[in-house]
Amino acid sequence: MRKTTDRGKKTAGAVLGAVLSALPVLFMLAFLLLPFLPWVRTLGAAEIGALLLCAVPLAAILIGVVVVLVQRIREIKGGEEDEAKKY
């Protein structure tokens, strides 16, 4: 008997997982940067450097989540629904 799969559900699950993973990081980034927006022009180099030191790793996490999501969607479209089955 042929096993049927619903690629739309798998894609929606991947997107939902990515959104739920990225949401806390987005909140942390927003709570880090938004309070300083009114004073951006008055901040010195040290303050901007400290903000970037905290914001860049969070941005890297978000970029990583998007890259993994794109890879997973390509796997689903390519027919490899469950990458773990190979192992």
Show the tokens assigned to 72.
Answer: 């997973």
Per-residue pLDDT, 64 = 97
CA of 62: how far to CAs of 57, 82, 87, in Å? 9, 23, 28
In the chain, domain spans: 7-80
Residue 3 phi, psi dihedral angles, 5° rounding? -85, 125
Residue 28 has pLDDT above 50, yes or no: yes
Residue 84 has pLDDT above 70, yes or no: no
Over the stretch 60-82, which tens digit does the pLDDT of each residue have? 999 999 999 999 999 888 876 65
Is this structure's pTM higher than 0.95?
no
Per-residue pLDDT, 66 = 96
Across the chain, mean pLDDT equals 86
Per-residue pLDDT, 7 = 78
